[in-house]
């Protein structure tokens, strides 16, 4: 089979195929054959499917002359979504506007409390060696003499 056309609508794919020699055409929807038909100078392939909970009617038209393909069109619900005609542009895709998202700023539930601890250290100097010792110690940590 020769692939004649591929059209995309949202996340669905439509393809039209034809055998190398012959007048039989096949329409595939998401890779699955849905319609196959023969014709001498043109063929119309129609099928209906359910897309996202809505009915979609597809119609593919293939026309050719004595030795060459003339025209391919694919319609979805009467809207042209594919054509091999020069200058064809697919229909615009409706895009929903995006709402701006406010930047997240941390706000604590309770105010932050700070606490300052002040400790007074009293040192006692050993009369024998001059070592500084903490208050309350009875013997010098350096020489062992009584303070």
Give the number of other CB atoms < 10 A from CB of residue 16.
24
CA 45 to chain centre: 34
String of DSSP letters for 84-142:
-STT--PPPPP-PPPPP-PPP----SS------------EEE-TTT--EEETT-SB-TT
Using the predicted structure, report yes or no on whether residue 23 has a pLDDT greater than 80. Answer: no
pTM of the model: 0.51
State mean pLDDT over 124-129.
Answer: 89
**Summary mean pLDDT of the chain:** 81
CA-based radius of gyration for the chain: 43
Q: Are 2 and 16 in contact (CB under 8 A)?
A: no
Percent of residues, the chain, with pLDDT higher than 70: 88
- Give the angle subtended at the CA of 141 by the CAs of 139 and 146, to the nearest 5°: 20
Tell me: the pLDDT tens digits for 49-94?
Answer: 888 788 888 888 888 776 677 788 888 888 888 888 887 777 676 6
String of DSSP letters for 35-47:
EEEE-SSEEEEEE
CATH 2.40.128 domain range(s) in the chain: 2-83
Asked whether the CA dihedral 131, 136, 141, 147 is positive or negative, the reply is positive
Tell me: the pLDDT tens digits for 108-124?
Answer: 677 777 778 777 778 88
The per-residue pLDDT for 93 is 65
Instruction: State the DSSP H helix or E strand holding residue 4, giving kind and residue range, or none if neither.
Output: strand 2-9
- For domain 2-83, the question of CATH label 2.40.128 is answered with yes
């Amino acid at each position: 089979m020769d692939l004649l056309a591929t059209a995309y609508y949202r996340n669905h794919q439509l393809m039209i195929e034809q055998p190398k020699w012959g007048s039989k055409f096949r329409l595939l929807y998401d890779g699955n054959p849905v319609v196959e038909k023969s014709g001498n100078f043109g063929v119309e392939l129609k099928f209906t499917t359910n897309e996202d909970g809505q009915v979609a009617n597809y119609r593919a038209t293939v026309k050719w002359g004595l030795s060459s393909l003339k025209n391919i069109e694919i319609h979805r619900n009467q809207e042209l979504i594919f054509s091999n005609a020069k200058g064809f542009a697919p229909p615009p895709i409706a895009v929903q506007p995006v709402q701006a998202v406010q930047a997240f700023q941390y706000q604590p539930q309770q105010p932050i409390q700070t606490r300052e601890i002040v400790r007074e250290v009293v040192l006692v100097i050993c009369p024998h060696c001059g070592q500084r010792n903490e208050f309350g110690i009875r013997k010098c940590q350096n020489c062992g003499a009584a303070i």
